[in-house]
Amino acid sequence: MTDPTASPSAAPAKPSRNGLVAAATAYILWGFLPAYFVALSPVGPFEIVAWRILFALAFCLLLLTVTRAWKPFIVILRRPRTVLLMGVAGLLIFVNWQTFIFGTLTGHVVETALGYFINPIVTVFLGVLVLRERLRPLQWVAVGISIVAVVVLTIGYGSLPWIALVLAASFGTYGLIKKQVGGEVDAMSGLTLETAWLVPVAVVELAIVGATTGLVFGSAGALNTTLVVASGAITAIPLLLFAAAASRLPLTVIGFVQYIAPILQFLYGVFLLREPMPPERWFGFAIVWVALAVLSFDLLRAGARSRRSAAILEPAP
């Protein structure tokens, strides 16, 4: 879903109206992705991901040409370490896309929403394991509560909610990789490189699908074909909106706005697709939401302390 390329923490303290609109639009678009991919039926999940990669790359190349942004992209290509890191990021986003679309088309939209609900907590946990970051006490509480939630949901589902865990882990690790490149790679160049790395994967997927069940693209009507082609733009546009928003909004605002997507996905899965939600599953989600409330409170408090410290250090006029 979101692209961690931009650094929200470097944003100004006061939210920008344009930034807020861009962020909300990005997350609303991400929230409606399950409905979009369901509408691509009868195209299967593996074929969808393959076409999504190819058409996203085509859309990015078109934008690079229209916006005359080839020069910074070529500069990035001259940095082997950055190019390789983007290849790793590409593999991670492939795992994320494939798992998300597989879950969406097999009746597990609620579980995909769970993956993006717990993603902020997984990101915090990965920061400790990989970056050796020190957590504040409330962050540890949120991580502990989320572990309890996974146990409860495992009991509720009757098995480990692997779709949610793979989505959260793949996107959390993707965020760490993007953090390594920092401000070296803009959103458009990043997505172009990631999808370029994945072209061989897409070709192999299409070859396997074609040799087994057969390719559907182009044979299910003009509307279906148009929607599949448009998946490239649907992939890139929210990323560009998010990149624009992240440079204008503080971390606390981004932290709250990001919940729009999983909330919409959850509502779609429960109330429109009528996916089963027995009491124990509701209870597990409630625990997740408590963990997110604790994490959000800590984020707000830390942001307030940071602003107070900045005000104290600021010289008097």
Q: How far apart are CA 277 and CA 269, in angstroms?
A: 10
Residue 185 domain flag: yes
- Residue 223 pLDDT: 97
Give how many domains the chain has, as a whole number: 1
Q: How far apart are CA 264 and CA 143, in angstroms?
A: 24
The tokens describing 126, both together, are 């990965």
Residue 291 domain flag: no
As a whole number, the mean pLDDT across the chain is 88
Q: How far apart are CA 189 and CA 315, in angstroms?
A: 39
Q: How far apart are CA 305 and CA 255, in angstroms?
A: 17
Which residue in the block uniquely carries the two structure tokens 């027995």? 278
Residue 317 domain flag: no
Q: How far apart are CA 94 and CA 181, in angstroms?
A: 19
Residue 310 domain flag: no
Angle at 256 between CA 255 and CA 260, to 5 degrees: 115
Residue 1 domain flag: no
Q: How far apart are CA 117 and CA 98, in angstroms?
A: 18
Whose CA is closest to 143, among 119, 116, 112, 177? 119
Return the exposure string of 82-94: e unless at least 16 CB atoms fall within 10 Å of the residue's CB, then b.
bbebbbebbbbbb
Task: Give the long-range contacts of residues 304-310, CB within 8 A, separation 24 or more.
Answer: 307/13, 310/13
Cα–Cα distances (Å) from 48 to 13, 130, 229, in that order, read 40, 33, 10
Cα–Cα distances (Å) from 208 to 50, 98, 105, 127, 217, in that order, read 11, 15, 19, 37, 14
Q: Is a pLDDT exceeding 80 seen at residue 9?
A: no
- Residue 1 pLDDT: 58
Q: Is a pLDDT exceeding 80 seen at residue 316?
A: no
What would the pLDDT profile of 221-241 be if each residue is shown by its tens digit? 999 999 999 999 999 999 889
pTM attached to this predicted model = 0.88
The tokens describing 302, both together, are 């830390």
What would the pLDDT profile of 35-45 be if each residue is shown by its tens digit? 999 999 999 99
Q: Which domain holds residue 41?
A: 8-135+161-265
Q: How far apart are CA 208 and CA 50, in angstroms?
A: 11
The tokens describing 147, both together, are 């572990």
Q: Is a pLDDT exceeding 50 seen at residue 12?
A: no
Mean pLDDT to the nearest integer, 193-203: 97
Residue 48 domain flag: yes
Instruction: Assess contact for 184 and 82: CB atoms under 8 A.
Output: yes
Angle at 116 between CA 113 and CA 122, to 5 degrees: 140
Whose CA is closest to 40, among 28, 51, 54, 30? 51
Residue 304 domain flag: no
Q: How far apart are CA 156 and CA 160, in angstroms?
A: 9
Classified as helix, coil or strand, 276 is coil
What whole-number percentage of the chain has pLDDT above 70?
Answer: 90
The tokens describing 301, both together, are 């408090």
Residue 244 domain flag: yes
